[in-house]
Amino acid sequence: MDIIAYARRMPKAELHVHLEGSILPGTLVKLAERNHIPLPASNEAGLAELYSFKDFQHFLDTYLMITATLRTPDDYHLIAYDYGCECARQNIRYAEVIFTIQTNTTLTGLPWQEILEGLNAGREQAHREYGVCWQWVFDIVRNQPETQVEVLEIALAARDMGVVALGLGGNEDGYPPELFVDTFKIAESKGLHRVPHAGEISGPQSVWSALRLLHAERIEHGVRSIEDPSLVDYLGENSIPLDVCPTSNICLNVFPDYAHHPLRKLWESGCFLTIGSDDPPMFGTSLNHEYQVLVEEFAFTKTELEQISLNGIRASFLSPDEKQKLELQFKDEFQRLSNGGL
């Protein structure tokens, strides 16, 4: 079996993926039609053209347009189930999926409980049919700092419904971690995990602040840490995971191309990396494609692919027993694949 085929078939865990950004173009058209929401394009080919982003704000505007097609609990059931089907197709066995709950309650007028019940109905259907499972990360939107307390309160109240962490997404420029210190401090005191985005649009100082002020346990992206060698050393020495999404970074012009992307340098510097697809249809990617990129653009070996797959388990917020069990399953499947099984 060649290494690309192996990468497609190997079991994976994904820690950096947004549910709204995972809505497939065909599902987006269906949602818009049934909820009478106009889109700039009425078919999948036209939608693909919309996903050529001029800048980060253009991306955010498009993301909001997609989210606005969601209106009912059944819609949330549908997109969660679709995501689970994609997990099964790509051999993603576990994920921690980011969702902007407050944006959705505002756009729909629905209570968060109804939205989450819809999401979990889709999640449970996917688990029954395919065995895939995931937990939720509820994101604060950076450019709406006035919503942070509400998001925290929802996340804390929803822990028994699969919410495992508090996130922080959106545009880093103008909305630094300093604006969210008290909220993340409360989350930490209540035992809620913390996974802010940092070091994507803004530079290393954003990562330092997320670590020092928000006590981040993982960093979403973090790729611009490469600009500060002392930060790279700190990340490696303290095994702080960076959930890296290479294709997303290229599409949003964080780096001009894969040749300029620092993933390989970060890896060889001892940083703890996981690989994610971020918003896969919006960037024309998938987690399987990101693994292919690791091989074709960053010269990852079979052993390194296995390592980065296991990193997804080790950096997750599963319990120690759950991590151990899943890691053993993954290693067993690696061995069987290597021997020509599965």
Q: Which one-letter amino acid corresponds to residue 229?
A: P
Whether 250 maps to a domain, the answer reads yes
Measure the CA–CA gap between 174 and 142, rounded to whole angstroms: 9
What distance in Å separates the CA atoms of residue 33 and residue 266, rounded to the nearest whole number?
44
Cα–Cα distance measured from residue 286 to residue 248, given in angstroms and rounded to the nearest whole number: 10
Calculated CA dihedral for residues 241, 245, 250, 255, nearest 10 degrees: 0
14: domain CATH number is 3.20.20.140
Range of the domain at 243: 3-337
Residue 83 resides in a domain: yes
For residue 342, is it within any domain?
A: no
Place of tokens 């896969």: 280
Active site residue 200: yes
Is residue 132 domain-resident?
yes
How many domains does the structure of the chain reveal? Answer: 1
Residue 105 lies in a domain: yes
- The pLDDT assigned to 340 comes to 81
CA–CA distance, 196 with 220 (Å, rounded to integer):
6
Within 10 angstroms of residue 48's Cβ, the number of other Cβ atoms is 14
Helical spans, DSSP H, in 54-179: 56-67, 73-90, 101-108, 112-130, 148-157
From the list 172, 200, 220, 306, the catalytic residue is: 200
DSSP character for 42?
A: S
Stated as kind and residue range, the H or E segment containing 169 is strand 163-169
CB burial string 153-186: b at 16+ within 10 A, e below: ebbbebeeebbbbbbbbbbbeebbbeebeebbeb
Tell whether 225 is covered by a domain.
Answer: yes
| Among 222, 205, 214, 204, residue whose Cα is nearest residue 148 | 214
Is 49 contained in some domain? yes
Residue 49 is predicted with a pLDDT of 78
Q: What is the pLDDT along the chain (342 residues), one digit of tens a residue?
A: 799 999 999 999 999 999 999 999 999 999 999 999 999 887 777 877 788 898 899 999 999 999 999 999 999 999 999 999 999 999 999 999 999 999 999 999 999 999 999 999 999 999 999 999 999 999 999 999 999 999 999 999 999 999 999 999 999 999 999 999 999 999 999 999 999 999 999 999 999 999 999 999 999 999 999 999 999 999 999 999 999 999 999 999 999 999 999 999 999 999 999 999 999 999 999 999 999 999 999 999 999 999 999 999 999 999 999 999 999 999 999 999 998 865
